[in-house]
Amino acid sequence: MPMFPWPDGKRVAVALTFDMDGECVPMIYDPQNYQKRLSLQSEGTYGPNVGVPRIFDLLARHEIPASFFIPGFTAERHPDLLREMIARGHEVGHHGYLHERPDFVDDDEEERIMIRGLEVLEGITGQRPRGYRSPAWELKPSSPALLKRYGFLYDSSLMGDDEPYFIDAGRDRLLEIPIQWMNDDWAYFGFCSIPSLGNGISSPQTAFESWSEEFLGYRDFGGCYVLTMHPFVTGRPSRIRLLDRLIRFMKEHDDVWFATLSQIADHAIATGAAIHRPNADLTIASRP
Ligand SMILES: [Zn+2]
Protein backbone atom coordinates (compact mmCIF):
# COMPACT_ATOMS: atom_id res chain seq x y z
CA MET A 1 0.00 0.00 0.00
CA PRO A 2 1.33 3.50 -0.76
CA MET A 3 2.35 5.61 2.22
CA PHE A 4 -0.09 8.32 3.27
CA PRO A 5 1.10 11.60 1.68
CA TRP A 6 1.89 13.79 4.70
CA PRO A 7 2.93 17.41 4.07
CA ASP A 8 6.51 18.35 3.13
CA GLY A 9 7.53 14.73 2.67
CA LYS A 10 7.02 13.87 6.35
CA ARG A 11 6.74 10.15 7.11
CA VAL A 12 4.39 10.19 10.08
CA ALA A 13 1.78 12.48 11.62
CA VAL A 14 1.56 12.82 15.39
CA ALA A 15 -1.47 14.23 17.21
CA LEU A 16 -1.31 14.82 20.94
CA THR A 17 -4.89 14.72 22.19
CA PHE A 18 -6.27 15.35 25.67
CA ASP A 19 -9.73 14.35 26.88
CA MET A 20 -10.34 16.87 29.65
CA ASP A 21 -13.07 15.00 31.51
CA GLY A 22 -12.60 17.10 34.67
CA GLU A 23 -15.73 17.22 36.85
CA CYS A 24 -17.20 14.30 34.87
CA VAL A 25 -14.48 11.93 36.16
CA PRO A 26 -16.28 11.14 39.46
CA MET A 27 -19.52 10.57 37.53
CA ILE A 28 -17.73 8.12 35.23
CA TYR A 29 -16.04 6.25 38.09
CA ASP A 30 -18.98 6.12 40.48
CA PRO A 31 -22.30 7.15 38.88
CA GLN A 32 -24.25 6.23 42.05
CA ASN A 33 -22.24 8.02 44.73
CA TYR A 34 -20.14 10.72 43.08
CA GLN A 35 -21.93 13.59 44.84
CA LYS A 36 -20.87 12.26 48.25
CA ARG A 37 -17.23 11.66 47.37
CA LEU A 38 -15.11 14.77 47.82
CA SER A 39 -11.83 12.94 47.30
CA LEU A 40 -12.97 11.43 44.03
CA GLN A 41 -14.29 14.83 42.95
CA SER A 42 -10.88 16.35 43.64
CA GLU A 43 -9.24 13.76 41.39
CA GLY A 44 -11.37 15.10 38.57
CA THR A 45 -10.70 18.78 39.21
CA TYR A 46 -6.95 18.13 39.36
CA GLY A 47 -7.01 17.79 35.56
CA PRO A 48 -8.18 21.29 34.60
CA ASN A 49 -6.70 23.04 37.65
CA VAL A 50 -3.23 21.49 37.79
CA GLY A 51 -2.71 19.18 34.81
CA VAL A 52 -3.74 21.47 31.97
CA PRO A 53 -1.50 24.44 32.92
CA ARG A 54 1.46 22.03 33.02
CA ILE A 55 0.43 20.57 29.68
CA PHE A 56 0.13 24.09 28.24
CA ASP A 57 3.70 24.86 29.35
CA LEU A 58 5.08 21.63 27.91
CA LEU A 59 3.34 22.09 24.57
CA ALA A 60 4.51 25.71 24.39
CA ARG A 61 8.09 24.67 25.07
CA HIS A 62 7.92 22.18 22.20
CA GLU A 63 5.78 24.46 19.99
CA ILE A 64 3.21 21.73 19.40
CA PRO A 65 -0.52 22.40 18.96
CA ALA A 66 -2.87 19.83 20.50
CA SER A 67 -6.52 18.80 20.41
CA PHE A 68 -8.61 18.91 23.61
CA PHE A 69 -11.98 17.15 23.87
CA ILE A 70 -14.19 18.44 26.65
CA PRO A 71 -17.64 17.51 27.98
CA GLY A 72 -19.94 20.56 28.08
CA PHE A 73 -20.47 20.24 31.85
CA THR A 74 -16.72 20.48 32.46
CA ALA A 75 -16.31 23.27 29.91
CA GLU A 76 -18.90 25.39 31.77
CA ARG A 77 -16.73 25.17 34.88
CA HIS A 78 -13.52 26.30 33.15
CA PRO A 79 -14.43 28.83 30.49
CA ASP A 80 -11.21 30.83 30.84
CA LEU A 81 -9.15 27.67 30.38
CA LEU A 82 -10.97 26.93 27.12
CA ARG A 83 -10.40 30.47 25.88
CA GLU A 84 -6.73 30.10 26.74
CA MET A 85 -6.61 26.83 24.77
CA ILE A 86 -7.82 28.63 21.68
CA ALA A 87 -5.51 31.60 22.26
CA ARG A 88 -2.57 29.18 22.47
CA GLY A 89 -3.45 27.64 19.10
CA HIS A 90 -4.97 24.41 20.40
CA GLU A 91 -8.23 22.89 19.24
CA VAL A 92 -11.35 22.30 21.34
CA GLY A 93 -13.58 19.38 20.34
CA HIS A 94 -16.90 17.88 21.46
CA HIS A 95 -16.91 15.14 24.10
CA GLY A 96 -20.57 14.89 25.15
CA TYR A 97 -22.22 16.99 27.84
CA LEU A 98 -21.98 14.72 30.91
CA HIS A 99 -19.61 12.30 29.15
CA GLU A 100 -22.51 10.19 27.88
CA ARG A 101 -21.72 7.13 25.76
CA PRO A 102 -23.83 7.28 22.58
CA ASP A 103 -24.57 3.55 22.75
CA PHE A 104 -26.10 4.01 26.23
CA VAL A 105 -28.68 6.63 25.17
CA ASP A 106 -31.48 6.64 22.60
CA ASP A 107 -31.26 8.64 19.39
CA ASP A 108 -33.26 11.63 20.67
CA GLU A 109 -31.14 11.99 23.76
CA GLU A 110 -27.96 11.57 21.72
CA GLU A 111 -29.08 14.49 19.57
CA ARG A 112 -29.95 16.67 22.58
CA ILE A 113 -26.50 15.97 24.03
CA MET A 114 -24.94 16.81 20.66
CA ILE A 115 -26.73 20.20 20.54
CA ARG A 116 -26.02 21.06 24.18
CA GLY A 117 -22.31 20.29 23.87
CA LEU A 118 -22.05 22.36 20.70
CA GLU A 119 -23.85 25.32 22.28
CA VAL A 120 -21.65 25.28 25.37
CA LEU A 121 -18.33 25.01 23.52
CA GLU A 122 -19.26 27.54 20.86
CA GLY A 123 -20.66 29.91 23.50
CA ILE A 124 -17.36 29.90 25.38
CA THR A 125 -14.80 29.82 22.59
CA GLY A 126 -16.73 31.58 19.82
CA GLN A 127 -15.77 28.70 17.54
CA ARG A 128 -17.88 25.76 16.48
CA PRO A 129 -16.07 22.49 17.25
CA ARG A 130 -14.90 20.70 14.10
CA GLY A 131 -14.10 17.40 15.77
CA TYR A 132 -15.87 14.89 17.97
CA ARG A 133 -14.59 12.16 20.24
CA SER A 134 -17.15 9.91 21.83
CA PRO A 135 -16.94 9.40 25.59
CA ALA A 136 -15.30 6.02 26.27
CA TRP A 137 -14.65 5.79 22.50
CA GLU A 138 -17.94 4.11 21.72
CA LEU A 139 -20.17 5.19 18.84
CA LYS A 140 -23.24 3.39 17.66
CA PRO A 141 -23.71 2.68 13.94
CA SER A 142 -26.12 5.64 13.57
CA SER A 143 -23.79 8.17 15.27
CA PRO A 144 -21.64 9.11 12.24
CA ALA A 145 -24.73 10.31 10.33
CA LEU A 146 -25.69 12.50 13.30
CA LEU A 147 -22.18 13.96 13.40
CA LYS A 148 -22.33 14.67 9.69
CA ARG A 149 -25.72 16.36 10.11
CA TYR A 150 -24.25 18.70 12.73
CA GLY A 151 -21.39 19.65 10.46
CA PHE A 152 -18.47 17.86 12.07
CA LEU A 153 -15.34 17.58 9.95
CA TYR A 154 -14.11 14.41 11.63
CA ASP A 155 -14.59 11.87 14.39
CA SER A 156 -11.79 10.35 16.45
CA SER A 157 -13.24 7.35 18.32
CA LEU A 158 -12.69 4.25 16.17
CA MET A 159 -9.88 1.79 15.61
CA GLY A 160 -10.24 0.54 12.02
CA ASP A 161 -6.93 1.76 10.61
CA ASP A 162 -3.63 3.50 11.43
CA GLU A 163 -4.34 6.50 9.19
CA PRO A 164 -7.39 8.68 8.44
CA TYR A 165 -10.20 6.87 6.61
CA PHE A 166 -13.81 7.46 5.71
CA ILE A 167 -16.61 5.67 7.54
CA ASP A 168 -20.25 5.29 6.56
CA ALA A 169 -22.44 8.14 7.78
CA GLY A 170 -25.90 7.28 6.51
CA ARG A 171 -25.81 8.03 2.80
CA ASP A 172 -22.75 10.18 3.34
CA ARG A 173 -19.25 9.57 4.68
CA LEU A 174 -17.37 11.00 7.64
CA LEU A 175 -13.63 11.22 8.12
CA GLU A 176 -12.33 9.09 10.97
CA ILE A 177 -8.93 9.73 12.59
CA PRO A 178 -8.41 6.50 14.48
CA ILE A 179 -7.27 5.90 18.04
CA GLN A 180 -6.24 2.78 19.95
CA TRP A 181 -6.23 1.66 23.60
CA MET A 182 -2.51 0.95 23.36
CA ASN A 183 -1.94 4.66 22.81
CA ASP A 184 -4.09 5.86 25.72
CA ASP A 185 -2.73 6.91 29.13
CA TRP A 186 -5.72 5.45 30.98
CA ALA A 187 -4.83 1.92 29.87
CA TYR A 188 -1.47 2.28 31.66
CA PHE A 189 -2.30 4.50 34.59
CA GLY A 190 -6.07 4.40 35.11
CA PHE A 191 -6.91 3.42 38.68
CA CYS A 192 -9.90 3.68 40.97
CA SER A 193 -10.01 1.81 44.29
CA ILE A 194 -13.81 1.85 44.80
CA PRO A 195 -15.30 0.69 42.52
CA SER A 196 -12.28 -1.24 41.30
CA LEU A 197 -11.47 0.14 37.86
CA GLY A 198 -8.45 0.28 35.60
CA ASN A 199 -5.47 -1.97 35.08
CA GLY A 200 -3.41 -0.68 37.96
CA ILE A 201 -0.63 1.90 37.89
CA SER A 202 2.21 1.17 35.46
CA SER A 203 5.56 2.89 35.60
CA PRO A 204 6.19 5.73 33.14
CA GLN A 205 8.96 3.57 31.70
CA THR A 206 6.44 0.89 30.68
CA ALA A 207 4.33 3.45 28.83
CA PHE A 208 7.41 5.02 27.26
CA GLU A 209 8.57 1.67 25.91
CA SER A 210 5.19 0.92 24.41
CA TRP A 211 4.47 4.41 23.04
CA SER A 212 7.94 5.01 21.58
CA GLU A 213 7.97 1.60 19.89
CA GLU A 214 4.46 2.20 18.59
CA PHE A 215 5.55 5.60 17.24
CA LEU A 216 8.43 3.93 15.36
CA GLY A 217 5.98 1.42 13.91
CA TYR A 218 3.63 4.18 12.76
CA ARG A 219 6.65 5.86 11.19
CA ASP A 220 7.55 2.65 9.34
CA PHE A 221 4.07 2.41 7.88
CA GLY A 222 3.54 6.14 7.40
CA GLY A 223 0.57 6.32 9.76
CA CYS A 224 -1.11 8.88 11.96
CA TYR A 225 -0.06 8.36 15.56
CA VAL A 226 -2.79 9.66 17.86
CA LEU A 227 -1.88 9.67 21.53
CA THR A 228 -4.87 10.07 23.85
CA MET A 229 -4.27 11.45 27.32
CA HIS A 230 -6.32 12.81 30.19
CA PRO A 231 -5.10 15.85 32.16
CA PHE A 232 -6.00 14.20 35.51
CA VAL A 233 -3.77 11.28 34.49
CA THR A 234 -0.95 12.73 32.37
CA GLY A 235 -0.92 16.04 34.29
CA ARG A 236 0.71 14.20 37.23
CA PRO A 237 4.40 15.08 37.74
CA SER A 238 6.04 11.85 36.56
CA ARG A 239 3.81 11.66 33.50
CA ILE A 240 4.55 15.21 32.42
CA ARG A 241 8.17 14.06 32.43
CA LEU A 242 7.11 11.00 30.43
CA LEU A 243 5.36 13.10 27.80
CA ASP A 244 8.33 15.46 27.60
CA ARG A 245 10.65 12.49 27.08
CA LEU A 246 8.37 11.00 24.43
CA ILE A 247 8.16 14.28 22.50
CA ARG A 248 11.94 14.66 22.62
CA PHE A 249 12.31 11.08 21.34
CA MET A 250 9.94 11.80 18.46
CA LYS A 251 11.77 15.01 17.64
CA GLU A 252 15.00 13.08 17.14
CA HIS A 253 13.38 12.14 13.83
CA ASP A 254 13.12 15.04 11.40
CA ASP A 255 10.25 13.57 9.40
CA VAL A 256 7.45 13.95 11.96
CA TRP A 257 4.47 16.25 11.46
CA PHE A 258 3.00 17.38 14.79
CA ALA A 259 -0.52 18.65 14.16
CA THR A 260 -3.99 18.97 15.62
CA LEU A 261 -6.59 16.48 14.48
CA SER A 262 -8.32 19.32 12.69
CA GLN A 263 -5.19 20.08 10.66
CA ILE A 264 -4.77 16.38 9.90
CA ALA A 265 -8.40 16.13 8.80
CA ASP A 266 -8.06 19.15 6.49
CA HIS A 267 -4.95 17.63 4.95
CA ALA A 268 -6.46 14.14 4.57
CA ILE A 269 -9.53 15.56 2.83
CA ALA A 270 -7.57 17.98 0.62
CA THR A 271 -5.23 15.26 -0.66
CA GLY A 272 -8.02 12.76 -1.25
CA ALA A 273 -5.75 10.10 0.23
CA ALA A 274 -8.17 8.71 2.82
CA ILE A 275 -9.84 5.51 1.70
CA HIS A 276 -13.35 4.33 2.56
CA ARG A 277 -13.72 1.42 4.95
CA PRO A 278 -17.33 0.27 5.16
CA ASN A 279 -18.66 -0.56 8.61
CA ALA A 280 -18.34 -4.22 9.59
CA ASP A 281 -21.27 -6.27 8.29
CA LEU A 282 -22.59 -8.18 11.30
CA THR A 283 -25.82 -9.36 9.73
CA ILE A 284 -26.45 -12.94 10.76
CA ALA A 285 -28.57 -14.69 8.12
CA SER A 286 -29.47 -17.60 10.35
CA ARG A 287 -28.15 -18.73 13.69
CA PRO A 288 -26.83 -22.28 13.83
ZN1 LIG B 1 -13.51 11.14 28.26
What is the rounded average pLDDT of the residues 108-137?
A: 98
Q: Please give the model's pTM, rounded to 2 decimal places.
A: 0.97
Cα–Cα distance, 242 to 261 (Å, whole number): 22
Domain boundaries, the chain: 12-273
For the chain, give the percent of residues with pLDDT over 70: 100
288: pLDDT confidence band, cut at 50, 70 and 90?
confident
Strand partners, 276: 166
Q: How far apart are CA 94 and CA 99, in angstroms?
A: 10
Contact by Cβ (8 Å): 245, 211 = no
The overall average pLDDT reported for the chain is: 97
pLDDT at residue 146 greater than cutoff 80? yes
Q: Which residues surround ligand 1, an ion (CB under 5 A)?
A: 19, 21, 135
pLDDT digits 0-9 by tens, 90-117: 999 999 999 999 999 999 999 999 999 9
One-letter amino acid of 262: S
> pLDDT, tens digit, for every residue of 222-268?
999 999 999 999 999 999 999 999 999 999 999 999 999 999 999 99
Q: 71: CA distance to ligand 1 center in Å?
A: 8
Instruction: Considering the domain delimited by 12-273, tell me its CATH architecture.
Output: Alpha-Beta Barrel (3.20)
Q: Give one DSSP letter per residue of 124-188, joined into a string.
A: HHSS---EE--GGG---TTHHHHHHHTT-SEE----S-SS-EEEEETTEEEEE----GGGBHHHH
| Phi and psi torsions of 6, nearest 5° | -75, 160
Question: Residue 95 C-alpha to ligand 1 middle, in angstroms?
Answer: 7
Q: What is the mean pLDDT of residues 35-63?
A: 97
In sign, the C-alpha dihedral spanning 174, 180, 183, 187 is positive
Å from CA of 236 to ligand 1 middle: 17
CA dihedral 171, 176, 182, 184 (to 10 degrees): -110
The whole-number pLDDT of residue 287 equals 84
pLDDT at 269: 97
Contact 130, 154 (CB under 8 A): yes
